[in-house]
Chain A
Amino acid sequence: MKTRLSAGLLAAALLAAGCGGGGDNTGGGDTGGGQQPAKVGLITKTETNPFFVKMKEGAEKASKAEGMELMTAAGKFDGDNAAQITAIENMVAAGVKGILITPSDTKAIVPAIKKARDTGTLVIALDTPTDPQDATDALFATDNFKAGELIGQYAKAAMAGKPAKIATLDLAPGITVGQLRHDGFLKGYGIAEGDPSIVCSQDTRGDQAKGQTAMENCLQKAPDINVVYTINEPAALGAYTALKAKGREKDVLIVSVDGGCTGVKAVQAGQIAATSQQYPIRMAEMGVKAVSDFAKTGKKVSGYTDTGVTLITDKALDGVNAKDTAFGLANCWG
């Protein structure tokens, strides 16, 4: 029975060692100056998605430049609302000046954000708005509708009047970002929801494997698909794999959203025709700057700030504003 207690002690000792190591990595212990640095928290949906990895890097760089201490947290999976609530509470307990959050569940996170704001903490949504949007002090995000619109316009121009059979590989029901991009694409293409040219719509959760399955099923349903709208580049690459297996990869136009480095390279390689690039690093930098300003001056930012979106393609078309993949690669993330 003695093993029980001694193992308990050992566990605690190991953990203590583990904590020490972790602490070093964050560089959070930089309290050399006489004054404690102001703290800023960043809560992302997950820690594995390159989009959020880049966002975190942007926040790290910006908080160093602003002389702030950065705390980070994330959910275990996309949609992990409980973990985000816990992170907000813990960050408020740690005395952060402001929290930057990419809400996993745009509605369910609202009460927890309200509690944090009631303590005087500045809360800024990055990338994804809360529902309602004014639940946070401010929103720094891509205009997702415009991101969809750009690739819709591009696809329309590329088809040059040929009859289109469109597949949309979407995100998941009830998630605003996915809905906005989808609707933007339709607007850009100049068609309405339910138009007969849309022959297949499937959810992919933005996942490459699910994107591939979805495309396979769509091809089963409508073998003559020639335009594929995808929610993001992993889904687009999944679709490309499915098309390639059918030998259809050359005559199908894939358009996407994100502008990750893998995605831009796929544009360069001609697998994806065009993608709308967004800028997670800029979101994080602007967020940290806003919290730093709040810490210094007590002034809170408010409202929506567009962090920009650019159409990336190597096959420029008349009447569509775009940059080439060299620009895309210089500005990509992940």
Chain B
Amino acid sequence: MPVLDATLPRRILSTPTAGPLAALVLACVFFSLQSDQFLTGGNFSLIIQQVMVVGTLAIGQTLIILTAGIDLSNGAIMAFGGIVMTKLAVDHGMPPLLAIAAGLAVCAGFGLINGLLVMKISLPPFIVTLGMLNVAFALTHIYSQDQTVTDLPPAMTFLGQTFTVGGTNVTYGSLLTILLFLLFAYLLGQTAWGRHVYALGNSPEVARLTGIRTGRLIVGVYTLAGLVYGIAALLLVSRTGVGDPQAGQTDNLDSITAVVLGGTSLFGGRGTMLGTLIGALIVGVFRNGLQLMGVPSIYQTLITGILVILAVTVDQLSRRRNR
């Protein structure tokens, strides 16, 4: 029995999401003490709504970072996807579901191109996605002519509608985001594909020698990430009720922030999807909590910056210890 008692706490400690989760819980406790408006179902539903777009982008970002890549283009791809779906539906009268599908396809296409450039020409992901960031940003502004698209068909904003759970209004988009996280947590943790992604991130050489078709895997990961950015575009459109060409300009870095805060290593091969969800929630909880306390938003940026450096430091230290 004493043996069991000793291993249980250690098991909890060695769970990669333990640190981020502790930070999230402590932040929640702190804000609950500071503001009596914080700890309500409605407020938590609000926080999830506010992180669902960046959170969903961070799902794709997590996949790519696990392969030791990085994606700077996700916010711009999302913005373009959002403009494509809204403009097709509003200006060209395309049925909303078809327009949404077209937007998803465009985003997946961007992901595919990213993946092919990284794999076929062996370009560093940082450079490929930096280029794609500019391409997608420019296309967004060219195609939209810098005009916000309004008067969207109801099917496009459906995910922004709410249903009631125990007196709290929850948006369908929040639910979809949570389901996506669970789906990808399952894919990463429980399938051969997920193990291959980790293996690739740990060592591409070893992964290849064990018979994993790494080229195909990389292209698949980037394409899948692109598709997820398309879903983020739909979430954004439904949340704001417009197609906004200015959207997503800092979301690439915000999604990396969520991934890093969630304990995923930027060197690849280590991290979890649920960690990323926690990371996204940490950002949302601080933004909301500080606002409820009446603290100007610039302090939220300051604190997020400190948190990121702490999280990366922890990752680096624990790597060193494992070595």
A residues bordering B, Cβ < 8 Å?
1-5, 7-16, 18-19, 22-23, 25-26, 28-29, 39, 47, 69-74, 76-77, 79-83, 85-87, 89-91, 93-95, 104-105, 107-108, 110-112, 172-174
Q: Which residues of A contact B22 (CB under 8 A)?
A: 5, 8-9, 12
Asked whether B139 is an interface residue with its Cβ less than 8 Å from the other chain, the reply is no
Q: Which residues of A contact B34 (CB under 8 A)?
A: 19, 23
B43 engages A15 (CB within 8 Å): no
Complex: how many Å from CA A95 to CA B21? 29
Contact of B288 (CB < 8 Å), options: A90, A110, A112: A90
Shortest Cβ distance from A69 into B: residue: B294
B13 engages A4 (CB within 8 Å): yes
Contact of B286 (CB < 8 Å), options: A15, A26, A70: A15
A72 engages B307 (CB within 8 Å): no
Contact of A11 (CB < 8 Å), options: B240, B242, B291, B310: B310
Which of B100-108, B187-195, B196-204, B295-303 is near enough to bind chain A?
Answer: B295-303
Asked whether B50 is an interface residue with its Cβ less than 8 Å from the other chain, the reply is yes
User: 12 A-B Cβ contacts within 8 A?
Assistant: A4-B16, A4-B263, A4-B318, A7-B317, A8-B20, A15-B30, A16-B30, A23-B294, A26-B295, A83-B297, A110-B242, A173-B146
Contact of B43 (CB < 8 Å), options: A4, A12, A93, A174: A93
Complex: how many Å from CA A10 to CA B27? 11
Contact of B246 (CB < 8 Å), options: A10, A81, A85, A90: A81
A8 engages B19 (CB within 8 Å): yes
Shortest Cβ distance from B20 into A: residue: A8
A22 engages B299 (CB within 8 Å): yes
Q: Which residues of A contact B119 (CB under 8 A)?
A: none
Q: Closest CB-CB distance, B155 to chain A, in whole Å? A: 16
Q: Which residues of A contact B46 (CB under 8 A)?
A: 89-90, 93
Complex: how many Å from CA A98 to CA B303? 27
Q: Which residues of B contact A108 (CB under 8 A)?
A: 148, 150, 240, 242, 244, 246
Complex: how many Å from CA A211 to CA B296? 30
Given contacts A1-B318, A81-B247, A93-B42, contact A107 B150 (CB under 8 A): yes
Shortest Cβ distance from A71 into B: residue: B294
B148 engages A105 (CB within 8 Å): yes
Asked whether B323 is an interface residue with its Cβ less than 8 Å from the other chain, the reply is no
Q: Which residues of A contact B6 (CB under 8 A)?
A: none
A26 engages B296 (CB within 8 Å): yes
Interface string of B296-316 (1 = CB under 8 A from A): 111101110011001101100
B318 engages A85 (CB within 8 Å): no
Complex: how many Å from CA A72 to CA B299? 11
In the complex, the number of residue pairs spanning A and B with C-beta atoms less than 8 Å apart equals 183
Number of interface residues of B (CB under 8 A): 65
Q: Which residues of B contact A95 (CB under 8 A)?
A: 37
Q: Which residues of B contact A79 (CB under 8 A)?
A: 246, 249
B residues bordering A, Cβ < 8 Å?
10, 13-14, 16, 18-23, 26-27, 30, 34-35, 37, 42-43, 46, 49-50, 53, 145-148, 150, 236, 239-242, 244, 246-250, 263, 286-299, 301-303, 306-307, 310-311, 313-314, 317-318, 321
Shortest Cβ distance from A106 into B: residue: B148
Complex: how many Å from CA A28 to CA B239? 30
Complex: how many Å from CA A11 to CA B302? 13
Shortest Cβ distance from B50 into A: residue: A86
Q: Which residues of B contact A16 (CB under 8 A)?
A: 26, 30
Complex: how many Å from CA A9 to CA B248? 31
Closest 10 CB pairs of A and B: A12-B26, A28-B294, A8-B19, A79-B246, A111-B241, A90-B291, A4-B19, A8-B22, A22-B295, A22-B299
Complex: how many Å from CA A232 to CA B132? 32
Complex: how many Å from CA A305 to CA B216? 62
B291 engages A82 (CB within 8 Å): no
B18 engages A4 (CB within 8 Å): yes
Contact of A18 (CB < 8 Å), options: B10, B21, B292, B299: B299
B306 engages A14 (CB within 8 Å): yes
Given contacts A4-B318, A15-B303, contact A174 B295 (CB under 8 A): no
